Structure 1
């Protein structure tokens, strides 16, 4: 925190304080408290060590989201109890996503069995109002409230954007927790609008924010519901809750990092290197590890098969991309000699596309190599294959889909307002 000078207290909640930073008006500092609460603050206890656990949990979650490409207010860690974030005007709505029916949903919807599965996940919104126990609001109520936050009026467009971002955040974290054999049952997040008028995932995401069941077993829950369920609260209960929260924080170490899976780009000629570098650029942006190799299925068949054997015997998950035009024997030869996925991406030119593409499309029977005609498409296809077993690649793809949605939504909104 030596680089930042604290200013006045901007806001104080039940479990955190927010301070302005004198040397950067666009940032703020969030400091967690050693405090646990439930029932809109009706139940409240000191819990030494919770602030550090909560901050570390939040930092790891936001790092994961930022790495995937979801825009958040998080900037960087400051000290064990604090982190720096973009200063936002907060939208007074809690955005809840549910995969399984439990908790308050069952009380509001009698007859629905516990663990009823929502596909797609169910989304609900609640107006932040402790005095009235955070009443549930519809989209129409949020739009009709006429909120103007950070100079932005909250219309249907903004509601649609926040709903889509909420869903993507949930799905990314749900997928990440499967790495630790834990089921993300439901969670809540909040949004803020920064000084540039951008909607960001903001506030804190920690064990107060979700229900998390290891092995999908409610009896093993590690979240704040354990505290809510207590008839009376003893010091021993509080120590158990702190151990649960610490377990969650530690498990996140295993999901915020993952090796970059390998994509090998075979080119039939050194003249195709620039085209292959374009594929590699897109692959790197998606979190893949591209390697370039030169070999000719026609002129050096044995060498091609020997190079292929290197990757088959590596024990790694590998996707192959074959870059060969005109008479493409490279992709089919690779596909005919491996069970690794093979993607053809011929370096087509305007004067040969109608002739050359057929050598990649019209392959012999029994071969499963697919064909795409753009470098980005080749990288995306490889990423989709790797995403089946790599949650971080899956997260980047989901965030890329979100970025496409946001781009179209904003362009449409701008056009309607012009």
Structure 2
């Protein structure tokens, strides 16, 4: 093993598993280098084979998965790739629990739940936990057992609050990736993840997520599976079999490159007067945090009706997915005029003033029959409403909304994890549109 990778000087071997090694990084305290192996195993290591090229494929797959999770705001240990077969991560004390989420009943679940037919769909997906113990084949544990174990890692005792957050995060990770894979007509059937506690006491999604971690069925057809189950099912293993497994893993890594396409979602903020610009900029900021592009335009439905309709026609012809946000006070004709002349969604967000708040809101609410524009008062509400509309077709925006909900849940928990409201607000601030 090299003593230096991508300019990082390696320290002691922290741990070695069946398919990876973890090294301290002397030149990057608080971080580790995770080195993948050209090795595939199953049955707690009872079946194992060398598979040339697997390390690079696994590293590529893992990197792309964590890039997706990081881009939507989930807290993970992954930092960046370090060459073809390794990556840099925050050093964590690993919680010895595998968290499994299932959308369809298959595999070992059927053995534990006789009578449930294969393919039974769980809505919402169900979550299970297993204690990592190869000698006893990773026995299933209840939440009560996890809490009772009182695992203490980097100063954090794993109690009910921590379990609640890991459970919600586990399901969210699954749903984020499920929606991403659906864009390639692939069904994510089930998957497992692990968590660690870093030296700041934060619980992070950690370890590796690759084709060893999930069941993936193109077109929802089990016969087309592209995951490690193909290897598990082999009674004898030939070179041709291993080549097939490798091709499947490579196909998965290649497909992941298409799961974060450029966003087609756009919110056009139309203001009736340049004096409303500050109000509109607040809306735009909230939209950016949620991954929605925005454009600001000035137009008056009363004073420049023809220009307003020309702007609407322009956006209808671009082929982009557009939500209009109308910002107009006093007599709000802008929202109703937009709604009456486009099939795109229209949201009113009047820049209300204390002196005429009742009139401003009423003029936005009391629209003629046959119009469907909705009205909100606060800039954040306008951005959220637009994002929720776009989330119907944009899985990245949907994911950011769900992460926001998760962080709201975390903010109400009296955790030992070191997560504060200030951390969460900074987290929102630094979300970037990829």
* TM-score of the pair, normalised by structure 1: 0.97
2:333 paired residue among 324, 329, 335: 329
> 1:25 Cα deviation (Å)?
2.0
Alignment-derived partner of residue 72 in structure 1: 76
Partners of 1:112 and 1:303 in 2: how far apart?
61
Partners of 1:85 and 1:212 in 2: how far apart?
26
Alignment-derived partner of residue 288 in structure 2: 284
Deviations 1:116-139 (A, max 9, x none): 011111100000000000000000
1:385 paired residue among 374, 377, 389: 389
2:375 paired residue among 367, 371, 375: 371
Partners of 1:375 and 1:357 in 2: how far apart?
14
Alignment-derived partner of residue 263 in structure 1: 267
Q: Classify the secondary structure of the residue corresponding to 1:320.
A: strand
Partners of 1:119 and 1:186 in 2: how far apart?
13
> 1:106 Cα deviation (Å)?
0.2
Alignment-derived partner of residue 24 in structure 1: 28
Count of aligned pairs between the two proteins: 414
For structure 1, the 5+ residue unaligned runs are: none
> 1:351 Cα deviation (Å)?
2.1
Alignment-derived partner of residue 17 in structure 2: 13
Q: Does 1:43 align with 2:42?
A: no
Q: Classify the secondary structure of the residue corresponding to 2:267.
A: strand
Q: Does 1:3 align with 2:29?
A: no
- Root mean square deviation of aligned Cα: 1.2
1:339 paired residue among 317, 337, 343: 343
What is the correspondence of 1:176-325 to structure 2 with a 5 Å cutoff? 176-325=180-329
Q: Classify the secondary structure of the residue corresponding to 1:335.
A: helix
Partners of 2:164 and 2:337 in 1: how far apart?
47
What is the correspondence of 1:396-407 to structure 2 with a 5 Å cutoff? 396-407=400-411
Native 8 Å contact 2:156 2:417 kept in 1: no
* TM-score of the pair, normalised by structure 2: 0.94
> 1:150 Cα deviation (Å)?
1.4
> 1:46 Cα deviation (Å)?
0.3
Alignment-derived partner of residue 102 in structure 1: 106
Partners of 1:213 and 1:377 in 2: how far apart?
38
Partners of 1:338 and 1:78 in 2: how far apart?
50
Q: Classify the secondary structure of the residue corresponding to 2:300.
A: coil
> 1:362 Cα deviation (Å)?
1.1
More deviation in 142-151 or 194-203? 142-151
> 1:23 Cα deviation (Å)?
1.6
Partners of 1:222 and 1:2 in 2: how far apart?
31
User: How has the CA–CA distance of structure 1 residues 199 and 413 changed in structure 2, closer, same or farther, with 3 Å as cutoff?
Assistant: closer
Deviations 1:122-161 (A, max 9, x none): 1000000000000000000001111111110010011001
User: How has the CA–CA distance of structure 1 residues 224 and 412 changed in structure 2, closer, same or farther, with 3 Å as cutoff?
Assistant: closer
Partners of 2:314 and 2:252 in 1: how far apart?
39
Alignment-derived partner of residue 349 in structure 1: 353
Partners of 1:298 and 1:258 in 2: how far apart?
36
Native 8 Å contact 2:201 2:416 kept in 1: no
Native 8 Å contact 2:6 2:83 kept in 1: no
> 1:260 Cα deviation (Å)?
4.8
Alignment-derived partner of residue 159 in structure 2: 155
User: How has the CA–CA distance of structure 1 residues 11 and 412 changed in structure 2, closer, same or farther, with 3 Å as cutoff?
Assistant: closer
Deviations 1:234-257 (A, max 9, x none): 000000000000000000011033
Native 8 Å contact 2:77 2:89 kept in 1: yes
Native 8 Å contact 2:201 2:417 kept in 1: no
For structure 2, the 5+ residue unaligned runs are: 419-434
2:64 paired residue among 49, 60, 63: 60
Partners of 1:201 and 1:149 in 2: how far apart?
15
Native 8 Å contact 2:269 2:325 kept in 1: yes
